[in-house]
Homo-oligomer: A and B are copies of this chain.
Amino acid sequence: MPVMNVIQAVNDALRLELRRDQRVVVLGEDVGAFGGVFRATAGLQQEFGAARVVDTPLAEGGIIGAAAGMALYGLRPVAEIQFADFIFPAFDQIVNEVAKFRYRSGGQYPCPLTIRAPYGGGIKGGHYHSQSPEALFLHTPGLKVVVPSGPYDAKGLLLSAIRDPDPVLFFEPKRVYRAAKGEVPEGEYLIPLGQAAVTRPGTQVTLIAWGAMWHEADQAAREAEAEGIDCELLDLRSLQPLDIETITASVRKTGRAVVVHEAPRTCGFGAELAALIQERCFLSLEAPVARVTGFDTPFPYTLESEYLPRAPRILQAIRATVTY
């Protein structure tokens, strides 16, 4: 099986889907001949032509509005937002239009499109090349939100996202774009949206993470093991639909949970997970659900190591939760 990094896996998924389904169109800034600033669309315009792999003008609202129109008409557009930080000019189209089309038309106008965006910190990008805005979209019914942590998931989840009947935000953790490598099958395989992966079974505490933070949580779990703490680690993979069963089953078993995300703490998805867990596992809980997150500040530049919830801070939270 070929070994790929996340960018290659994304590229592979796009290529397969462009080949398989004439309705698939890729559009965004610099995605054409250049292949995208992270090269995720490299070679696609060369293979599929400038009509299906399109450089757009610099206007995210235009990209998503146009993609919405394509989706309404029956295509399967895959729009790239160059950095998740630049998705906000398209926010109205996403939350007021794309998310509500099926509902507001009584089911007459589904709007299935995929919005890919490199996301998260850890590449020294400062305020505007580091943000993790998933919670903003999770608060909007009608949208699905997917975040892979490695190449295998990236490919299988992206194929599912493109084929999904609903609009999907597909956030790619750019910190591990090249760093996360692994075996990726050739040809197509689908990872269903809404299934978390239990990447490490354990008994004492449930760790919940996604994207780049899964790697940190995994390292923390390994370090915890060395200290004799047995962690169960979930990689959520898809935040909406959320695999609530796997989460509650795990926490009912362990009685403790630590949630990790990069976004600021307040109103991050960790809050929702904590709320859900205490609602559903109240009698099993032996400690509060802990949140290890980015801080309530804009994303910094120089102090990004301090800002990011990495393994050492996660480990500390694990210890505190287990000894609560």
Contact = CB atoms under 8 A, between A and B. Distances in A.
Contacts of A278: 274, 278, 288-289
A303 to B, nearest CB: 12
A135 B139 CA distance: 8
A268 B91 CA distance: 17
Interface string A299-324: 00000000000000000000000001
A142 interface: yes
A227 interface: no
Interface string A99-140: 110011000000000000000000000011000000110111
A152 interface: no
Contacts of A92: 88-89, 91
Interface string A218-229: 000000000000
Nearest to A270: B275
Contacts of A99: 298
Contact of A266 (B138, B268, B296): B138
A269 B267 contact: yes
Given A139-B263, A278-B289, 14 more contacts: A88-B91, A91-B92, A103-B297, A138-B266, A138-B267, A139-B264, A140-B264, A267-B272, A270-B275, A271-B272, A275-B291, A279-B290, A282-B287, A282-B324
Interface of A: 61, 85, 88-89, 91-92, 95-96, 99-100, 103-104, 127-128, 135-136, 138-142, 240, 263-264, 266-272, 274-275, 278-280, 282, 285, 287-291, 296-298, 324
